[in-house]
Chains A and B, each alone.
Chain A
Amino acid sequence: MVEQLSGKIGFKYLSTHIKTLNLIIKIFKNKEFLIGFIIASFFTIISFIGNYFVPYNPNSINLNQPFLPPSWSHLFGTDYLGRDVFSRTMVGGTVSIEVGLAAGLLVVVIGGIIGVFSGYYGGGVDILVQRIVDIILALPIIVFVLVLLTIINSSTLTIIIAVSFLSWPTLARIVRSETLSLKEKEFILSEKLAGASGFHIIFKHLIPNEISSFIVYSGLAISNAILVQAALAYLGFSGSSVSWGFDLYMAQQYIMGGYWWIMFFPGLAITLTALGFYLISEGLRKVMSG
């Protein structure tokens, strides 16, 4: 009897592992996810370890050779101070990806928890949250973050907080409507009858059941945060002196010279990084929705 039972439990564990494995295989078989995953991990890895592999110091100024076009010694050419554009592009993404990952995570945590709570408890809290969501969604994020950063101060941390503070409402709305339909399901009702607390139901049942929307949305949130950070850096609000967006801002001052390489490569890097995370999200969405 006991042996039989343990065998069954073992099989159950094995079968859940097989299920997870199957899901992972299914996810990686999705073309969009795979391409996105490769691009995103490539840029993430480069921006964190690229500092050790750069051919030139990204900050070393060489006024004798400004605006050199791309060649074998300078793959992406040099900029207005003679700095190597290839090296700067390699390390210029660090802040973008830091902001992207941190803000993406914060958005999912804040938006997810607020959405679940307001959907599950309803009532006055729900109405209040919905009005706050309406208000934040009526503000152009970029303008508001700009005003906020001007008045407070702009460091990487404040950029992360400002971006995630303004991006959580969309996810909160999605999670709320999912919670509304989930909380009427039998298994939640039976938990309630058994006397489970609201916290127990939210953290043991609702959130695990909605985890796929959390994960799908996180890719989108990271992609958006990277684009917002790049725009902020372009407008001069960058936590770092080496940043794709800020390099583009400086490059635009010399646009009439037609030095395309100082504008093309950093912008391409931003686009591809954001595209990578967006594709991850798209691929996951397609796999999760079947």
Chain B
Amino acid sequence: MVLLKNTMNLGQYLSSKNIIFKYALKRVALVPIVILAVITINFLLIHLAPGGPFQILLSDPSFSPQEVMILERQYGLDKPLYMQYFIYIYNVIQGNFGISYFYSIPVITVILYYLPNTLILAGLSLLLSSILGILLGIIAAMNYTKSEKKVLDKFLNILSMIFYTTPSFWQGIMLILIFAVYLKFLPSTGTYVSVSGFSIIEYLSHLILPVISLSLLLLPPIYFFTRSNLIEINRMDFIKAVRAKGIRERIIFVRHELRNALLPVITLIGLHGTILFGGATIIEIVFSWPGIGLLTYNAILNKDYPVLLGTLFFYALLVSLLNLIVDLIYLKIDPRIVLR
């Protein structure tokens, strides 16, 4: 009997493992699908560009029509379209996004040069906004459940709504105006490269305003989500049961409410990957922070199509990888996700 019970458990265990494994596999498989779709979109965009990808070079006097023709042959543009498509996919897989029109070096080199700055900006902002958003969410939810008038909760809600609908570039401009122009204690825009060379303090001082600005963009959704989760869980039966047992409020809060409320916040962070990197683009442009957002903008101004499509590819890669990591972490913490 004991044996039977154990084998059943083992079977259940294996099948549940199986479901989870299948889900994880499905989730991982989504990344190449998204990437392939973006490659396809990129390919279509190149051919949508007026006169094909290289005709723009004809307006540049340093290129002769013969050179453009040679380039077109090198890139296989004289081959049929489906062949070009496969050549393009083959090149992208090898990390070959072509040569930048503007910088005259491989696109991948340019992007990898700018990428770390974007990752630092996005990472720090995600960290700051998560900590602050969760903290403020907890404060508001506690105020909502404990206090009669709920003044603090209402105040935080109104503030978050206003910040939610404030354009990030305007927030950035106002921050520059206040901290760099009027108070003069932070650098306004630009890079960390100074005459004396690289200095970590200067790098960080240029980073402060962009990080604050990007964090303000991400903070309201995290705040609202934490707050509503906590309030909802506070009403649930299992919390009432724990409370009826006479367990101290602080322990209920930390062990039961907080743990359950914070789990979904992880997925929210994953879902906001597009806002994170899209917002980073705008903020990099406002503050001239040398990340791939600024690179994208310069590529647009210079009509540097290879760089433009390369950055689009990298954005999709970053967002889908972030989503994947978050989903897998969540799967580890709360495997019930497969049932949804």
Contact = CB atoms under 8 A, between A and B. Distances in A.
B165 A271 contact: yes
Contacts of A245: 167, 169
Given A135-B38, A256-B188, 16 more contacts: A134-B30, A138-B273, A140-B278, A142-B282, A148-B45, A151-B49, A235-B285, A245-B167, A248-B170, A252-B173, A264-B174, A270-B170, A271-B170, A274-B165, A275-B165, A278-B164
B152 interface: no
Interface in B304-338: 305, 308-309, 311-312, 315-316, 319-320, 323
Interface stretch (A47-55, A83-91, A223-231): A223-231
Nearest to A152: B48
B54 interface: no
B303 interface: yes
A172 interface: no
B213 to A, nearest CB: 13
Contacts of A140: 274-275, 277-278, 281, 315, 319
Q: Which 4 A/B pairs are nearest by Cβ-Cβ distance?
A: A140-B278, A267-B170, A274-B165, A275-B165
Contacts of A138: 34, 38, 273-274, 316, 319-320, 323
B122 to A, nearest CB: 11
Interface in B265-292: 271, 273-275, 277-278, 281-282, 285-286
A61 interface: no
B297 interface: yes
Contacts of B263: none
A251 B177 CA distance: 11
Contacts of A146: 281, 296-297, 300
Interface string A257-269: 0101001100100
B182 interface: yes
A8 interface: no
B33 interface: yes
A131 interface: yes
Contact of A135 (B33, B165, B273): B33
Interface of A: 131, 134-135, 137-144, 146-148, 150-152, 223, 227, 230-231, 234-235, 245, 248, 251-252, 255-256, 258, 260, 263-264, 267, 270-271, 274-275, 278-279, 282
B71 interface: no
Nearest to B305: A151
A270 B174 contact: no
B156 to A, nearest CB: 15
B43 to A, nearest CB: 12
A255 B181 contact: yes
20 contacts: A134-B30, A134-B34, A137-B274, A140-B274, A140-B281, A143-B281, A146-B296, A146-B297, A147-B309, A148-B45, A151-B45, A151-B48, A230-B169, A231-B167, A235-B300, A255-B181, A255-B188, A270-B170, A274-B165, A275-B161
Interface in B147-204: 161-162, 164-170, 173-174, 176-177, 181-182, 188
B279 to A, nearest CB: 8
Interface residues of B, number: 49
B105 interface: no
A237 to B, nearest CB: 9
Most buried by A among B281, B303, B305: B281
Most buried by B among A151, A234, A245, A258: A151
Given A147-B309, A151-B305, A267 B33 contact: no
B278 A142 contact: yes
B37 interface: yes
A143 B315 contact: yes
Interface of B: 30, 33-34, 37-38, 45, 48-49, 161-162, 164-170, 173-174, 176-177, 181-182, 188, 271, 273-275, 277-278, 281-282, 285-286, 293, 296-297, 300, 303, 305, 308-309, 311-312, 315-316, 319-320, 323
Given A267-B170, A275-B162, A255 B176 contact: yes
A132 to B, nearest CB: 8
Nearest to A268: B170
Contacts of B277: 140, 143
B315 A231 contact: no
Contacts of B34: 134-135, 138
Contacts of B167: 227, 230-231, 234, 245, 267, 270-271, 274
A227 B38 contact: no
B173 A267 contact: yes
Contacts of A282: 161
A231 B165 contact: no
A139 B38 contact: yes
Contacts of A141: 274, 278
B177 A255 contact: yes
Contacts of B319: 138-140
Given A138-B274, A138-B323, A279-B161, A144 B174 contact: no
Nearest to A153: B50
Contacts of A271: 162, 165-167, 170
Contacts of B164: 278
Contacts of A148: 45
Contacts of B188: 255-256
Nearest to B280: A140
A278 B274 contact: no
Contact of A150 (B162, B273, B308): B308
A251 B286 CA distance: 12
A61 to B, nearest CB: 23
